[in-house]
Amino acid sequence: MKSSLKKIDSCNISLLKNIKLHENQEQYFSDGEVFEKYADNPKKYLIGMFGEEEIIGCFYLDFEENNLDQYFSNKSLVVLKGLSIRHNFQGKGIGKLAILEFLDTVPNLHFNKKIEIIVLSVNCKNIAAQRLYKSAGFIDTHEIYYGGKAGPQHVYYINVS
């Protein structure tokens, strides 16, 4: 299935309520409705993944200062958070395709700051997500972030400049 990426804003935010995760994944993140609070936040950039005009997933870029900055001194970074794919679309490679498509478009997106690296953290127990990000080219720093809601997290990054 081919997916396309579109910015999510207050006009189409209601589509996110259709994103439901497997029960065992809720320990790592929430269903799509949690994103609604970010619709008008200029420091959050929401991206929806669509297949034939149906939303199949989403993620967001967080431009606020965060705890992952400590691992990347003197780098202009943004944090990728909350990659969520509807449970009935998981396991089909959609997440990887969406991330690769997004990484291809980063140089053409215009943000208030230059982005050198994209950073993310993944729960140490979430092996499927770790495989996904590694297969998309993210590099494991071998640092552990202990502030995750479901426990320790590996810190990953990818250069985009």
3-state secondary structure the chain: CCCEEEEECCCCHHHHHHCCCCHHHCCCCCCHHHHHHHCCCCCEEEEEEEECCEEEEEEEEECCCCHHHHHCCCCCEEEEEEEEECHHHCCCCHHHHHHHHHHHHHHHCCCCCCCCEEEEEEECCCHHHHHHHHHCCCEEEEEEECCCCCCCEEEEEEECC
Side-chain half-sphere exposure of 2, counting CA atoms within 13 A: 2
For 21-73, write each residue's pLDDT tens digit.
Answer: 555 545 445 545 566 777 778 888 888 888 876 778 888 898 887 888 888 88
For 83-94, write each residue's pLDDT tens digit.
Answer: 888 777 778 888
What is the average pLDDT value for the chain, to the nearest integer? 81
> How many structural domains comprise the chain?
1
**Amino acid 105: pLDDT:** 85
**Amino acid 138: pLDDT:** 98
CATH number of domain containing 108: 3.40.630.30
Q: Which residues form the domain of 57?
A: 4-159
